[in-house]
Amino acid sequence: MQRRFQQVDVFGTTPQSGNPLAVVVDGGGLSTEEMQRFANWTNLSETTFLLPPTSPSADYHVRIFTTTWELPFAGHPTLGSCQVWLDHGGVPKVDGVVVQECGVGLVQIRRGDDRLAFAAPDRIRSGPVDEEMRVRVERALGPDIVDVSWADNGPGWIAALLPSADHVLALEPDFGGTLDLKLGVVGPAGPDDPHDVDVRAFFPGPKSMEEDPVTGSLNASLAQWLMERDPNLRSYTARQGTALGRNGLVYLDRDDGGTIWVGGRVATAIIGTVEL
């Protein structure tokens, strides 16, 4: 069956500079196994499938797959899927706000002039790590750590603050013996930089250490942590992907109600149909 398909670039500042996402617009009728097989074939970090909502409050339902398993939530698939839903004629029930249904429940997405932003989900684990975990993080990243904390909104992120963006970009982590760590690293940019912080996301595996180009979920929990550390911090921009030759930019804003919005641009790279 021919199904509408779109591949988008999320958080990029120029073409092919963000995190790619494959979106199957007509996901109805596919089994979990068929979705997983297609996601494995695309070989992208995530592939999503749009479905009719099951909640009366939602505008659409999305299922999110890596090459090997299904995710309850992820940041760049949320923004990319929303943009594709809009591109294919989706009209939200409430003007200006799209409500996505996914594995974690309902996620609000706000529409701006040139970008989308999702409301950061609650963390399931936060606060300082214990001494044993801090030693493991220092062993992986080195001694130049200002602070380290749990920042887990699902994937298991631990956040580490380094003295500067230069420290972040110079990292060559050593994950020997600590393959279960998922580390998000952030450092303040220089006064002449057009962005505020640099971010890197590491999730080592048994065969090689992997780094994600631009990570919405991590930036969401990093913003929650950084804004707790500095209550006067209301908004900032995060650059991510530099070490991988990308140029992603994430916009973080806290509204008057305390909700943190994670935003970025979404650009279409490929549009057509797939046999699926």
Mean pLDDT of 25-33: 98
Active site residues: 46
- Give the model confidence (pLDDT) of 89-130 as tens digits: 999 999 999 999 999 899 999 998 899 999 999 999 999 999
Q: Report the pLDDT value the prediction gives residue 209, as an integer from 0 to 100.
A: 62
- φ, ψ of residue 169 in degrees (nearest 5): -70, -25
Q: Which of helix, strand or coil describes residue 184?
A: strand
149-168 confidence digits (pLDDT tens): 999 998 889 999 999 999 99
Query: Are 268 and 87 within 8 A, CB to CB?
Result: yes
Asked if 194 and 258 count as a contact pair (C-beta separation under 8 A), the reply is no
Beta strands 158-161; 183-188: pairing state? parallel
Q: What is the predicted pLDDT for the residue at 176?
A: 79
Please return the burial class of 75, using the count of CB atoms within 10 Å of its CB with bins 0-12, 13-18 and 19+: buried
Please report which residue ranges of 12-154 form alpha helices under DSSP H: 32-42, 75-87, 131-141
- Contact in structure between 246 and 213 (CB atoms under 8 Å): yes
Helix (H) or strand (E) holding 148: strand 147-152
Q: At what angle do helices 216-229 and 75-87 cross, to 10 degrees?
A: 120
For the entire predicted model, the pTM comes to 0.95
The answer to whether residues 184 and 148 touch, using CB atoms and an 8 Å cutoff, is no
pLDDT in tens, 41-85: 999 999 999 999 999 999 999 999 999 999 999 999 999 999 999
Residue with tokens 């899927």: 81
Q: How many other CB atoms sit within 10 Å of the CB of residue 107?
A: 20
Q: Look over the chain and give the mean of its residue pLDDT values, rounded to a whole number.
A: 95
Cβ within 8 Å of residue 99, ≥6 positions away: 57, 58, 59, 92, 93, 106, 107, 108, 109
- Residue 207: per-residue pLDDT: 56
Decide if pLDDT at 191 tops 90.
yes
Nearest-CA neighbor of 167 among 192, 191, 195, 189? Answer: 189
d(CA 31, CA 48): 13
Q: What domains sit in the chain, N to C, each tagged with a CATH number?
A: 2-120+263-275 (3.10.310.10), 125-245 (3.10.310.10)
Contact residues for 220 (Cβ-Cβ < 8 A; gap 6+): 75, 118, 120, 121, 153, 260, 262
Residue 12 and residue 146: Cα distance in Å, rounded? 29
Residues in the chain: 276
223: three-class secondary structure by DSSP: helix
